[in-house]
Structure formats: C-alpha cells, structure tokens
C-alpha cells in the first residue's frame, strides 16, 4: 500500500474543492405549504421542486410533518417523525418510492371499480368519445 504524504493529501483536497465548486450543491430544503411542494435550493441559484404527497411515505402526512423536511448533508432529504428519507439525485431522476409503490401508483388508473365501470357505461351511452376531425386537402 502506498503512503500518501501531506502534500499529496492537500492536492487531493484542492482538486475536490475545485470540482465541488463547479457543480450545484444543495444548501437548503423547505416545504411550501401553499403548493405542497418540497423545494431544494442550490448554491448556484437553481431550485428543484417535487410534490410532497407524491412521495412514498408522505401521502398521508400532515402539513406540519411535511414541513419538518431536513437536508441530509448534500445528498438527501429526511423527515424525522415519519422516518422517511430520499436522495436528491433519486428525486431529480423521478424516483418517488420503491418499485412496489410505483406499480401500485400505475395500477390506479387501471382500476375497474363499480363507479368507474358505471361512469364508462354512462359516457358510452352518450356516443362515446367524439370522432377526430381530419382535414382533407
């Protein structure tokens, strides 16, 4: 194993600081009660917003619980009383929960409840969807 001297260590720290200065770094996280969005502010002036109740584990939270959001270092968000954590990178990539959570969300529009079936039949009795009008030239 190679030994690293103080000069090499300082050079590595300098490179890391230089690289870090060139990327947006999360500096604050907050919950906007009016829009019910979690907002992450970055050092470069950018911000990222996500609808809080779309995140797994937050749908049934009170607004006071949602407002407890904390920034974990430079990489994550945390809600202590709810024991919920998300990575900022994951949220920015559209990962709002586990695979099972996403599958359950996607099935929501495919449900065949009695109310949905009745509404579909009622719309069908009115002639269904209107035909698309196309221009002929």
pLDDT tens for 93-122 read 887 765 655 566 555 555 566 766 777 677
- Overall domain count for the chain: 1
- Do 50 and 94 meet the contact criterion of CB atoms below 8 Å apart? no
Does some domain include residue 90?
yes
Q: Give the CATH number of the domain where residue 101 resides.
A: 3.30.2020.40
Would residue 123 count as lying in a domain? no
Question: Residue 90 is part of which domain span?
Answer: 23-110
Structural domain contains residue 118: no
Q: Is the pLDDT reported for residue 57 higher than 70?
A: yes
In a domain, 68, yes or no: yes
Indicate the pLDDT class of residue 15, thresholds 50, 70 and 90: very high
Q: Is residue 14 part of a domain?
A: no
């Amino acid at each position: 194993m190679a030994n690293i001297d103080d000069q090499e260590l300082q050079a590595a720290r300098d490179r890391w600081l230089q690289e870090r200065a060139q990327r947006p770094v999360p500096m604050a996280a907050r919950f906007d009660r009016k829009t019910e969005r979690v907002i992450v502010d970055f050092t470069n002036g950018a911000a990222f917003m996500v609808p809080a109740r779309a995140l797994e584990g937050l749908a049934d939270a009170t607004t006071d619980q949602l407002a407890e959001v904390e920034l974990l270092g430079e990489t994550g968000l945390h809600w202590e009383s709810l024991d919920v954590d998300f990575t900022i990178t994951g949220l920015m990539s559209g990962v709002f929960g586990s695979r099972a959570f996403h599958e359950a969300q996607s099935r929501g529009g495919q449900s065949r409840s009695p109310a949905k079936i009745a509404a579909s039949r009622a719309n069908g009795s009115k002639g269904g969807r209107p035909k698309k009008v196309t221009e002929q030239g």
